[in-house]
C-alpha cells in the first residue's frame, strides 16, 4: 500500500510508538492500536497494551 494512505501511515506511527516505549524502558512488550473512521481527521480510538510488563503504573 501507499504510505500516504492513513492505514499505512498509522501503522508506521503505532510501530514507532511501541518501539520507543520498549526502548525507553517503560515496558518489556508493547502493542499500540489505533482506529480511524471515514471522514474523521483524528483517531477515534487509541489503545496501548503492555501485557503487564510496564515499569510504571498504568493509569
Confidence category of residue 7, pLDDT binned at 50, 70, 90 = confident
- Nearest by Cα to 46 from 37, 55, 38, 57: 37
Considering the entire predicted model, what is its pTM?
0.83
- The pLDDT of residue 41: 86
Cα-atom radius of gyration of the chain, to the nearest Å? 13
pLDDT tens digit sequence for 17-49: 999 999 999 999 999 999 999 999 899 999 999
- The pLDDT of residue 46: 96
Quote the domain boundaries for residue 14. 6-49
Q: Does residue 13 fall inside a structural domain? A: yes
- The pLDDT of residue 3: 73
Q: Does residue 41 fall inside a structural domain? A: yes
- Nearest by Cα to 17 from 59, 51, 47: 47
Q: Does residue 15 fall inside a structural domain? A: yes
- The pLDDT of residue 47: 96
Q: Does residue 12 fall inside a structural domain? A: yes
- Per the CB < 8 A criterion, the answer to whether 2 and 8 are in contact is yes
Q: Does residue 54 fall inside a structural domain? A: no
Amino acid at each position: 500500500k501507499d504510505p500516504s494512505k492513513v492505514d499505512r501511515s498509522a501503522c508506521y506511527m503505532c510501530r514507532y510508538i511501541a518501539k520507543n516505549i520498549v526502548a525507553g524502558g517503560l515496558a518489556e512488550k508493547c502493542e499500540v492500536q489505533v482506529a480511524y473512521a471515514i471522514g474523521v481527521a483524528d483517531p477515534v480510538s487509541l489503545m496501548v497494551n503492555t501485557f503487564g510488563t510496564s515499569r510504571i503504573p498504568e493509569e
